[in-house]
Chain A
């Protein structure tokens, strides 16, 4: 295991539902990331948090709302999603968020939007 956990591992939701993804890292890192991985597309960076502060929002639609209460926890709140949002959502952490540090990934949440 990488020291990064994600829950739930699988999630099926309707377009009107509200759900949250959770990520926790046990590595003492201070940077955390959300990525989206869709079939046949490159890994897309969504958000970056460094010391609980959001430092990057990669033009993500407002139906995705991140929350980082402390350096160990990261949430992704989901509401009124679209079927094209179905994907594998990956959380990662690193020691610092500059110069491309090695990132440690969680196992991902497989999201299906009906």
Chain B
């Protein structure tokens, strides 16, 4: 299976704290993407990091990529209650025309 894994499965933190989610994958990738999903809704693209990049920032988001370990992490700094959602990593495969999604991390930010 090409499917990657995310860790932790669930994370509960206080508002203002940082949240870190990890993603491991198995295939050769063109890029690694992170998406967010509010309960029962569609996914929203957050950030894309290419295979030749090691770190990328977007607002309160920081993504790292280690292709030697086939892993990525998403850091949300100064979390807010509105960050409560599920977060998914998705492998943009080097070959083929699809994304392979992980199982996701459920983040709960308590106010």
Residues of chain A at the chain B interface (Cβ within 8 Å): 2, 4, 6, 31, 33, 41-43, 45, 48, 50, 55-56, 88, 90, 92, 97-108, 110
Contact = CB atoms under 8 A, between A and B. Distances in A.
Contacts of B91: 100
B92 A100 contact: yes
Given A42-B102, A100-B91, A106 B30 contact: no
B59 interface: no
A50 B48 contact: no
A56 B42 contact: no
Contacts of B33: 100, 102
A42 B103 contact: yes
Given A102-B48, A103-B45, A105-B44, A97 B98 contact: yes
Interface residues of B, number: 28
B75 interface: no
A45 B98 contact: yes
B97 A48 contact: yes
B44 A2 contact: yes
Interface of B: 3, 29-31, 33, 35, 40-45, 48, 88, 90-94, 96-104
Contacts, number: 69
A90 B42 contact: yes
Nearest to A99: B30
A52 B40 CA distance: 28
Give the most central of B29, B35, B91, B101: most A CB within 10 Å: B101
A4 B104 CA distance: 22
Given A2-B42, A99-B30, A105-B44, 19 more contacts: A4-B42, A6-B42, A42-B3, A42-B103, A43-B43, A43-B101, A97-B97, A99-B92, A99-B93, A100-B29, A100-B33, A100-B90, A100-B93, A102-B33, A102-B45, A102-B48, A107-B41, A108-B40, A108-B41
Nearest to A41: B103
A66 to B, nearest CB: 15
A32 B31 CA distance: 19
16 contacts: A31-B97, A42-B102, A42-B103, A45-B100, A55-B97, A56-B96, A90-B43, A97-B97, A99-B30, A99-B94, A100-B98, A100-B99, A102-B48, A103-B45, A105-B42, A106-B42
